[in-house]
Amino acid sequence: MDRIKIDLLRAKYDLGTPEKRGVFLFTRIFLAMTIVVAVAGVAFSYGSSSTDGGTVGFLSSLARLVGSGDKLLRGEADDRINFLILGVGGAGHEGAELADTIIFSSFRPSTNQVGMISIPRDLFVPVPGYEGWRKVNSVNAYAEAKQDGQGGPATADVLGDVFAQEIQYYVKIDFRGFESFIDELGGVNVYVDRAFTDGQYPILGMEEADCGTSVTVEGEDGEEITVPSYSCRYEVLQFEEGWQHMDGATALKFARSRKGSNGEGSDFARAARQQKILLAVKGELLSGATLLNPGRIAKLFETVKSNINTNLTIGELIRLATFLPQIDDKTITHHVLNDPSLVSEQSLNGVYALLPANNDWHPIQQLTANIFNADAANLALGSPEETPRQYAKIEIQNGTSVVGLGSQTSAFLVSQGFEVKSVTNAESRNFDHTVIYDLTNGQKQEELKTLRDLLAADVSMTAAGWIYTNEIVPTDLSVANEPTAEDEHVDFLIILGKNTANLVMR
């Protein structure tokens, strides 16, 4: 991997002040209405009786009415739909568009399985259009500063690239919407695994307050000195172990606290709490107290349309809602990107940062590929149960005009154990047939044979490689004018042709 260049984000100075977000577009209002209608429809689908004594689902009828009943969700044909959930501070908060919560989630329609991976804010990732790597929580802010409403798509694209997964959908909500939504639900019931106290939870609007108080501390020379105290900027949070009923404000504090005692002070513990809140919200949405309460549904609609940004369409929301009752919370897998073999903790110019361990995204990609497995982290780290990895480094260049072919092929090859170093576009985009250029001089015959068979590709190798190998007959021999890999350390350069699109894109 190329040497990582880090450009630390200082939102206060680098991003400027984003323009105040206006009212959502008319289409988003309809989209928000559909969320409520779809969820309400789940309840009606259980018991609406037809005149002939059978049962008809309200959602099925509504789906037929809008003509979306047979339209699949993106990714459904491949039996995997990926979502990105973003939580931001919103208006009135410092760093309003910095993502405070980032969760990568996947749904498998055939089995109704759900998997979630919480992404630490301090993970550094390459961001297109910017030199060096940036904190992942800054991607939304950079994109919103350029164009309103682009933060969700931009963050999904960046994480989709490093995870080798296509992220079809995103949902972004701000703190105000989070609080209001839970309040309109009547609160949520959450089990607190262990009691903790956080004495430094920031109070909104008090971030720069001059408290007018001071404390005495010991200086470097041992003498006592008096320094300003900023205790008025913070409140003390306390959570007891066991079941707690939380209103919106309390749930937000529980999800955001990062200075907690008793092992709850890390971003990783915080991520686990956020996943608990999501499950609690799902439970309340599907409860009779919500689905049979028109007034509550109307208020939820008002909250949703003002505070949630998503690319889910009306038809997609309706179809997605039909799956909700079949999802069993006990089968949902939870992961947090915190294993030292997956991410490396570093101090960069005095700033805490997380980087992929050994500058290698492959183990993290293995984790995302196996998200539905409770032992996915062990599989990613090479447990005996893992499918043997093909130790070959690959560079992929899309030689067609098929959008997304490179990323789809990358995800497919990663799932087969290969390490994809980069995905770019080829200089020529008119390749009808995929070509694999062997840069090992025939030293990795088994891997080359596997790649050839997986992609139905032609093989090009040097004369020396042809002499060395005894199993593969090359389609042609490399000459001086053949394409070259951008990374000199890769084993194979793959130029994708149109024939591979039929294999990896369904």
Percent of the chain with pLDDT over 70: 74
The most confident of the ranges 127-136, 187-196, 334-343 is: 187-196
The Cα-based distances of 416 to 407, 411, 413 in angstroms read 14, 9, 5
**Residues in CB range of 78: below 8 A, 6 or more apart:** 506
Position 483 scores a pLDDT of 66
Position 462 scores a pLDDT of 57
Count of the separate structural domains present in the chain: 3
Encode pLDDT of 358-386 as tens digits.
878 888 998 999 898 877 666 555 543 44
Domain that holds residue 234: 205-238
Please count the other Cβ atoms lying within 10 Å of the Cβ belonging to residue 338: 18
Of the residues 315, 341, 358, the one at which a domain ends:
358
Same domain, 443 and 340: no
pTM of the model: 0.55
Give one word for 143, left, alpha or beta, with left for phi > 0 and alpha for psi -120 to 50: alpha
Q: How high is the mean pLDDT of the chain?
A: 75
Name the pLDDT band for 47 (thresholds 50, 70, 90).
very low
CATH (domain of 485): 3.30.70.2390
pLDDT mean over 76-100:
82
Same domain, 232 and 281: no
* Pair 312, 320: CB distance under 8 Å: yes
Position 247 scores a pLDDT of 93
Same domain, 130 and 277: yes
Same domain, 406 and 451: yes
Same domain, 492 and 425: yes
Rounded-to-integer distance, Cα 256 and Cα 270, Å: 7
Same domain, 44 and 134: yes
Is residue 333 in a domain? yes
Considering only CA atoms, which of 197, 189, 302, 286 is closest in space to residue 247? Answer: 189
Same domain, 232 and 292: no
Name the pLDDT band for 69 (thresholds 50, 70, 90).
very low
Of the residues 358, 379, 399, the one at which a domain ends:
358
Degrees to nearest 5, angle at CA 357 with 95 and 271: 45
Same domain, 30 and 121: yes
Encode pLDDT of 236-262 as tens digits.
999 999 999 999 999 989 988 888 888
Same domain, 131 and 272: yes
Encode pLDDT of 195-211 as tens digits.
999 988 888 767 677 78
For β-strands 308-310 and 169-174, DSSP reports them as: antiparallel
